[in-house]
Chains A and B, each alone.
Chain A
Amino acid sequence: MTASPLVLRDADFGYGEQRVVSGVTLEVQKGDVVAILGPNGSGKSTIIRGILGLADHLGGDVELLGTPLHRLRSRAAIGYVPQHHSLSSSVAATVREVVASGRLARRRWWQPETARDREIVEQALEVVRLSHRADEEVSHLSGGQQRRVLIARALATQPDILIMDEPTAGVDQASQVVLAKVLGRLAQAGTTMLIVTHELDALHDIVTRVLCVNNGRIDFTGSCAQYDLHLATHPTGSSHHHHDEAEAPVTTPLSSEPLDTAATRQS
């Protein structure tokens, strides 16, 4: 495909009548890794959700994977890691089952799971280092581990464009380094990425473009180096970030005893 994976021209996004972000212009090339920065409530998620069709596209042009947004039929080539995981926990679902749902959009409704599908799911689990917990219930994992499950689910899609909303919020430092490496490998393999983050440092080496959102407006677009300069001249403003979510992952007592739980369940 020669077309840019994502083009925004003076695009506005919001909810219903309410315009939350306006005038977003951005052309993402294949293999670009775009970091979206900005304080809480500035509209980062709204931009991403607008591109994904979850928030309303209220003006301007958006082309996703070479097709205008309103005419986009297949979203199967999109990987998405939502900011707030909304996984239902009322019925047990294992890590593997959730990650495997990332493959569904890639096959027709009547096609059963293939060996290739299963292989891709195992690889995605491997990448986020959750293979050894694949058969555990998702709800028994810590907050950070659950985010890794969501990342694996998006990876299992083998997306042409990977859109992540604060994928590392609440993920411990060690896992963040691992994830940065993973994203680095994906970038090398040419995966186009859009990452909302507050941790630019960890991704500094792979980010090719930075987009700063402030109060529903884009107040900076440029390369990482240009962004560093921008920071030097604007010591506050959009560089002043906070985490949206608490750092501390919640750990249920069960999650520290995986083998034990598995043993009692089988008996």
Chain B
Amino acid sequence: MSEMLALEFMRNALIGAVLVGFAAPLVGIFLVQRRMSLIGDGMGHVALAGVAVGVLTGTQPVLTALIAAVLAAVAIELLRQRGGTSGDIALAVMFYGGIALGVVLLSQASGASSTNLTGYLFGAILTTTPADLIAFAVLCTIVVATVTVLRKRLFAVANDEEYSRATGLPVTALNLILAVLTAVTVVVSMRIVGLLLISALMILPNATAQRIGSSFASTMRWAAVIGVVAALAGVVTSYYAGTPSGGTIVLILIAIFLVATGTAALARRLAARSSRRRSVTQRALDHQSSDLSHPGGQGLESAEESR
């Protein structure tokens, strides 16, 4: 472990993993809530065109990717508000256009363009430079701060958009903010998990957290914890096993998801069994007492006793 930490690129990679593992699920939860889980992938496609422009023009690819993703985010949000199937088709055109343009442009770049492409598609966390890290830290701080301050409003709008509009919340502005936060997260995650796996880091921790959390707030906290743990474990594993970081992180996220789902199902089955036993006891009790102010209370205790 200390041998790994002695390497600067590994330290950078681990810091980057923590940043992204924390920020991505916090944005992703609102996408899950609005059933837009895959929108990040679309933005990732468009970001690739931005990357290519950056590589070709000698500009920072992170910057050009950010510009492309934010523009795509705003366009997506405006299309979504208009609704209808024409919007759906327009999204498809934009997403495939983005990735196709990215691939074609990158092929024109001189030098090691194919390794470049793989790096952006699947993540190249070990090539994270100190400059990258500073940019990621700033962007992640902005994302986390914005979500922290606005989370209740973002929740309300995703939960019931019409009610929010009727009572005067700035729904359009909040939707645009969420879209831009998603774009920023996509670009920051690009180096860590790659453009093709970006949604995984935003969505999978939430899929798991949903099995554990019993409120929106607790689901959100769990998602952030799971994101950080999986990102760190993924980077460490990829170092020792010599596997690509992005794919490793995503496989670990899926493993956590499966374990949580299995455990939750088991817990439910055990609960159902004890409640069946309880309802028998409850019926017996109901004959004696008509106090229904706490219908479950007595039953739970008696189930406990009968164990």
Chain A interface residues toward B at CB < 8 A: 52-54, 74-76, 78-80, 82, 85-88, 90-94, 96-98, 100-102, 104-105, 109-110, 113, 135, 137, 150, 153, 157, 257-267
Contacts and interface: CB of A to CB of B under 8 A. Distances in A.
Contact of B271 (A94, A98, A263): A263
A97 B159 CA distance: 10
Given A97-B155, A101-B152, A135-B214, A153 B165 contact: no
B218 to A, nearest CB: 8
A109 B171 CA distance: 12
A76 to B, nearest CB: 5
Given A104-B156, A260-B300, A94 B169 contact: no
B271 A262 contact: no
A265 B214 contact: yes
Which one of A54, A94, A110, A257 has the greatest number of beta carbons of chain B within 10 Å? A257
B217 to A, nearest CB: 7
B210 A257 contact: no
Contact size range, B:
35 or more
Contacts of A52: 166
The 7 nearest A-B residue pairs measured at CB: A75-B168, A259-B296, A101-B156, A52-B166, A264-B271, A94-B215, A91-B33
A257 B34 contact: no
Contact of B296 (A54, A153, A257): A257
Interface string B152-183: 11011011111111111100000000000000
A88 B166 contact: no
16 contacts: A75-B167, A82-B166, A86-B160, A88-B33, A91-B216, A93-B216, A94-B214, A97-B217, A98-B159, A100-B152, A101-B163, A104-B153, A153-B163, A260-B274, A262-B214, A263-B271
B206 interface: yes
Contacts of B297: 259
Contacts of B35: 88, 90
A102 B169 CA distance: 10
B290 to A, nearest CB: 16
A105 B166 CA distance: 10
Contacts of A87: 159-160
A94 B166 CA distance: 22
Contacts of A102: 167
A122 B160 CA distance: 21
B128 interface: no
Contact of A261 (B34, B159, B168, B271): B271
Given A92-B216, A259-B300, A85 B160 contact: yes
B162 A82 contact: yes
Nearest to B296: A259
A181 B216 CA distance: 32
Nearest to A136: B214
B34 A88 contact: yes
A79 B167 contact: yes
